A = this chain, B = another copy of it.
Amino acid sequence: MASDVKRVVLAYSGGLDTSVILKWLQTTYGCEVVTFTADLGQGEELEPARKKADLLGIKPEHIFIEDVREEFVRDYVFPMFRANALYEGLYLLGTSIARPLISKKQIEIARKVGADAVSHGATGKGNDQVRFELSYYALEPDIKIIAPWREWDLRSREQLIAFAESHQIPIAKDKRGEAPFSVDANLLHSSSEGKVLEDPAIEAPEFVYQRTIAPEDAPDKATIITVGFEKGDAVSIDGEALSPASLLTRLNELGKDNGIGRLDLVENRFVGMKSRGVYETPGGTILLKAHRGIESITLDRGAAHLKDDIMPRYAELIYNGFWFSPEREMLQALIDRSQEFVTGEVRVKLYKGNVDVIGRTSPYSLYNQDLVTFEEGAVAYDHRDAAGFIKLNALRLRTLGSRARQIGE
């Protein structure tokens, strides 16, 4: 299998696993490795990754490091939040939404450096392998994909470390021991799973949480903020215009400080089994509530209900890795079409894990006080219209009722 790859672009974090992969690719495939390391807001410095790649023999011109935070939030996170997407009613899709972007960058680099393969560090039981590879194939149908975790015979942490040692891969001291769980992180969320989390009956230990303080530790006084929206996307906090990534960073800080965005979930993976994860999405949790808040006064009922109806399917597509599919793009066209007037401001109260919308205003508000007020207003709502509305809506039910009575039901 190893003979026909010449140059491979690896999604490289600089950590132990992808360093082992890097070396394994060199030794097994005898090919040149090109590394891509992205700053997605995972909260780690990138320069160590460059040094390590260099140390492992990657040519300088083949070490690609890029800060993609703005692109990530603007072109992936925000479009997804326009849909109010939740997988299985609860999960904000923080890992799922980052994979397509990494894949796209790898393919772009592969074209630039003339690579014939791409590789990633996702394991053989998870969703991420699917998300990476569906994206690769959609963008570059003939690309060769190498998924080391499915190919090699390293089956435990010990074997991994043994491989590292025998190939002179430096191992950080704190990485020698078995990690008590595994983590994925980016600007939208961090997720933890495995090991101490594997029994869904047992509460996740506090040390699992990395990105939020516990509600119990949050201030006793609420923080109130105003989030500004334009055409469905958040654009400001408390009146200050912010770029997408800056805005999400700010919301993350606010969420973290107020103990917001923790989720302990058993979910259904695309590959067929259930798994348990702990997610922390502080800013995203605020953003979802705020977005629903601004939609509540600017979006028509027909538009809102259609969005709600198709949302689970849209979320499932992203979860399953079909970001670059025609059906996701069609649903996005539908969603985006609805957001033209989703503009205005939402006041949100943050308090010890709670996010509550307490006020909404918009120049395009469809809320009409005259229409709802108890007293009949100037507007064209005649109480008697309701009688006809009910009568015709009831007509088919009455016909059914008559039939039921006739047959003595």
- Chain A residues with a Cβ under 8 A of chain B: 84, 88-90, 123-125, 129-130, 133-134, 137-142, 147, 149-150, 155-156, 182, 194-195, 198-204, 215-216, 220, 222, 262, 264-268, 271-276, 292, 296-297, 300-313, 316, 322, 324-327, 329-331, 333-338, 341, 347, 349, 351-354, 356-361, 363-364, 366-369, 371-376, 380-403, 405, 407
Contact among B215, B388, B398, B407 for A388, CB-based, below 8 A: B388
Residue of B nearest to A373 (CB): B198
Q: Quick one: given A267-B296, A389-B271, are A141 and B324 in contact (CB under 8 Å)?
A: no
Are the C-beta atoms of B391 and A382 separated by less than 8 Å?
yes
Roughly how many angstroms separate A389 CA and B273 CA in the complex, as a whole number?
14
Contact among B313, B338, B380 for A309, CB-based, below 8 A: B313
Known: A303-B330, A363-B407, A387-B388. 18 other contacts (CB 8 A): A88-B305, A130-B386, A133-B394, A137-B398, A150-B383, A194-B374, A195-B374, A201-B361, A215-B354, A216-B222, A268-B301, A273-B395, A276-B367, A300-B325, A305-B316, A309-B313, A354-B354, A389-B392
Are the C-beta atoms of A325 and B352 separated by less than 8 Å?
no
Are the C-beta atoms of B201 and A393 separated by less than 8 Å?
no
Roughly how many angstroms separate A367 CA and B198 CA in the complex, as a whole number?
10
Contact among B90, B194, B366 for A403, CB-based, below 8 A: B366
Residues on the B chain within 8 Å of A326, using CB: 300, 302-303, 337-338, 400
Roughly how many angstroms separate A267 CA and B372 CA in the complex, as a whole number?
11
Roughly how many angstroms separate A357 CA and B265 CA in the complex, as a whole number?
8
Name 18 interchain pairs, CB-CB below 8 A, sorted by A: A125-B381, A130-B389, A147-B386, A200-B367, A201-B347, A202-B359, A262-B356, A268-B301, A268-B304, A300-B327, A305-B316, A306-B327, A307-B330, A330-B337, A333-B333, A333-B334, A366-B399, A386-B388
Residues on the B chain within 8 Å of A316, using CB: 305
Residue of B nearest to A402 (CB): B141
Roughly how many angstroms separate A303 CA and B274 CA in the complex, as a whole number?
13
Residues on the B chain within 8 Å of A268, using CB: 300-301, 304-305, 396
- A137 nearest CB across to chain B (Å): 4
Are the C-beta atoms of A400 and B353 separated by less than 8 Å?
no
Interface centre among A155, A195, A200, A360 (most CB of B within 10 A): A200
Residue of B nearest to A392 (CB): B389
Residues on the B chain within 8 Å of A216, using CB: 220, 222, 351
Residues on the B chain within 8 Å of A381, using CB: 125, 273, 395
Are the C-beta atoms of B390 and A133 separated by less than 8 Å?
yes
